[in-house]
Amino acid sequence: MKEPTYIPPFTITEEIASFVADIAEMVGGLTAMADHLPTPHLRKANRIKTIQSSLAIENNSLSIEQVTAILEGKRVLGAPNEIQEVKNAIDAYNLLLELNPYKEKDLLKAHKLMMTDLVRENGRYRQGGVGVFDGEKCIHLAPPAQRVPILMAELLDWVKKTKVHPLIKSCVFHYEFEFIHPFADGNGRMGRMWQTLLLMQWNPIFAWIPVESIVKEHQQEYYDVIAQSDSEANSTSFIAFMLRCLKQALKEMKESNQKGNPKSNQKILMAMRENPNITIKELQEITGLSESGVKKNIRQMREGGIVSRVGGAKGGHWLINSKS
């Protein structure tokens, strides 16, 4: 196989290497388990989170509950274009297992579905200039339209031939894709979807990991690292950001795929007994769980009548059931 004609600029730092090692270990641990894939219920929930979060980054205001209803074929009150965005994203993500991340025709096919009835140029590269905006501020001016087919061909050639680790490769593609901005609209959601597709070639478990929800939680940083990578003329900063998001998403998926964690529950109960005013952040440090993991365990204990909350989030305290 010939060497790619274009090699994107980036540096594999110690931080990036550490993230790759940590993520690979987490994926290996999940894959080694007999039930490493999420349950059907969790797969559905994660796909909904993926779609809702990715569209929310693009200012779609529909909630998880509304996206769920659309997926189930129910009628939803909302802006017609936002409902169409959700329907399109559902159709596009349903094709994940059939798409080849290295084929241009599959990329165009996915974009055609993703942007049906939203833009005229769905399924085709843009014909005019375009920029990336953070509010009213232009943070990136994309290359001229006539360069897009050449740049995309070079990028797809590189991502197919490179021997760099799949985790890094997927992040580099994501950044380069956003830099080229090949479509008139839908570049953000397509870039995130295609990174997922590339990661699936390494391990199918990534089809069900809603990394987009983590990106949504750090949306401003997402824009900032894109701008930083632009100014540095390489994707190093973006790679580190996306790997951190992937690591967090894996951690949360592992916690969500478990039916409670007795050891963590005991740690939480002991901490609450010692300090009824303890915060979620402090419980994270004690248990090693993510914020959502701690909240999930507490929610289960509250539903079971083990603990209760007296007062609000600020100024309130935890009350332990006397039998617990």
Residue 180 tokens, joined: 């080229």
Share of the chain above pLDDT 90, in %: 62
Report pLDDT digits (tens) over 181-195.
999 999 999 999 999
Rounded to the nearest 5°, which phi and psi values hold at 208?
-120, 15
> Shortest CA distance to 222 belongs to which of 239, 247, 209?
239
Residues 114 and 137: their CA atoms lie apart, in Å, by: 26
Please, which pLDDT band fits residue 40 given cuts at 50, 70 and 90? Answer: low
pLDDT higher than 90, residue 79: yes
**E strand or H helix that includes residue 309:** strand 307-310
Please, which pLDDT band fits residue 259 given cuts at 50, 70 and 90? Answer: very low
Give the pLDDT mean for 45-62: 92
Between residues 155 and 280, the one the model is more confident about: 155
Give the pLDDT mean for 6-20: 97
pLDDT higher than 80, residue 260: no
pLDDT of residue 35: 47
pLDDT of residue 33: 57
Determine the 3-state secondary structure of 113 from DSSP.
Answer: helix
pLDDT of residue 34: 42
CA distances from 255 to 11, 32, 38, 104, 280 (A): 32, 16, 11, 36, 16
Average pLDDT, the chain: 89
pLDDT higher than 90, residue 254: no
Report pLDDT digits (tens) over 109-135.
999 999 999 999 999 999 998 877 767
Indicate the pTM of the whole model.
Answer: 0.77
Residues 206 and 170: their CA atoms lie apart, in Å, by: 12
Residues 13 and 34: their CA atoms lie apart, in Å, by: 34
pLDDT higher than 80, residue 174: yes
Give the pLDDT mean for 279-298: 84
pLDDT higher than 90, residue 139: no
Residues 22 and 28: their CA atoms lie apart, in Å, by: 10
What are the residues whose beta carbons fall under 8 Å from the beta carbon of 47, sequence distance 6 or more?
93, 208, 210
